[in-house]
Amino acid sequence: MEEELLPTEQAIEQPDGAAPQTQAEPPASAKSKRDTYLEGFRKKHPDWQDDDEEGFYGALADDDAAREEEMNGYKSREEELSTALSGSPLNSALFLDAVNGKPIPLSILERYPDEVKAWMDDPENKEAIEQAFQGLADRMARNKELDAEAEKNLEETNAMIDQMISDGELASEEEANACVELLGKIAVGMTVNHLEKDWLIAAKNALNHDADVEKARTEGEIEGRNAKIEAKRNSASKGAANHANLGTSNAGQRLSARETSAATSNQKGMWDGMKVNKLN
């Protein structure tokens, strides 16, 4: 009975009597280096078309230029750092301490205790030292104030959001979180002078909301008053028409009465004449 081969295996012919051996074929899903490169190229340049040879080489040239510019930036910063460290033993020592995680002030005190003490004891440096410590104290106090204000604002903001959800002004916590996330994006964008079209449209709609509501309310009131006036006008016209019809009907009735009376009178005169004739 022949041994069944896997789809990725093929039989290797052997001399008579020897058992056949198999050799694994490369999987069909294996990609060539060309295909692998083009796959990454398409991800980086999604607008490129396979038949655009000029665009392909243009993109390669742009990539090469970008890499060269990036490498030149690395080299330039490396040279600046090397010059700064090699020109000053203090800079080199502080840099190494910072790399190893030691605080810079502690590193300075450990390396130059006498110099630091002498500088701080110098009367000429007294004002600069006081200003430095005063500035530090002011910043710390200001930070405490900001922290306290931020904590207070956070509590008030969360309470306001909960109330808006309860009142139906916000549909859910998910919607509230989405609004807060959008405001956060706007705040971050403003710090780097970046705005998006959707942000400006949202801001415009927010600014015009009260005016639009007031305009709609005013227009609704005007339409309501106009509708009432029109209803009164139609009612008055209908009443006048009914009155006119009633008058015409009465006049017709009166006319019919007069005509009946006249006809009766004529009839009487006619019979009277006949009676006279008969008497004669």
For the stretch 28-49, pLDDT in tens is 567 789 888 888 888 888 888 8
Residue 53 lies in a domain: no
Q: Provide the token pair at 269.
A: 């005169």
Query: Which stretch of DSSP H or E encloses residue 24?
Result: strand 21-24
Domain identity same for 213 and 180: no
What is the arithmetic mean of pLDDT over 240-266? 48
Number of domain units in the chain: 2
Question: Bridge partners of 10?
Answer: 23
Domain identity same for 181 and 207: no
Residue 174 lies in a domain: yes
Please compute Rg for the chain using Cα positions.
51
Residue pLDDT, tens place only, 180-191: 888 888 888 888
What span, in angstroms and rounded, lies between the C-alpha atoms of 242 and 221? 31
Among candidates 235, 258, 239, which has minimal Cα distance to 247? 239
**What is the number of alpha carbons within 13 Å of residue 155 lying toward its C-beta?**
5
Q: Which of 212, 227, 242 is the last residue of a domain?
A: 242
Domain identity same for 230 and 183: no
Residue 35 lies in a domain: no
Residue 258 lies in a domain: no
Phi, psi angles (nearest 5°) of residue 22: -120, 150
Q: Which of 159, 194, 229 is the last residue of a domain?
A: 194
CA angle at residue 133 from 132 to 134, to 5 degrees? 90
Domain identity same for 140 and 188: yes
What span, in angstroms and rounded, lies between the C-alpha atoms of 161 and 173? 8
Domain identity same for 134 and 175: yes
Residue 156: pLDDT band (50, 70, 90) is very high
Residue 11 lies in a domain: no
Domain identity same for 148 and 137: yes
Residue 92 lies in a domain: no
Residue pLDDT, tens place only, 197-252: 888 888 888 888 767 667 666 766 666 666 666 666 666 566 555 554 555 445 44
What span, in angstroms and rounded, lies between the C-alpha atoms of 236 and 69? 86
Residue 150 lies in a domain: yes
In this predicted structure, what is the pLDDT of residue 259?
A: 47
Residue 167 lies in a domain: yes
What is the arithmetic mean of pLDDT over 115-138? 87
Residue pLDDT, tens place only, 64-74: 999 999 999 99
Q: Which domain holds residue 230?
A: 196-242
Domain identity same for 188 and 128: yes
Residue pLDDT, tens place only, 77-114: 988 888 888 888 878 888 888 888 888 888 888 888 88
In this predicted structure, what is the pLDDT of residue 10?
A: 53
Greatest Cα-to-Cα distance within the chain, rounded to the nearest angstrom: 172
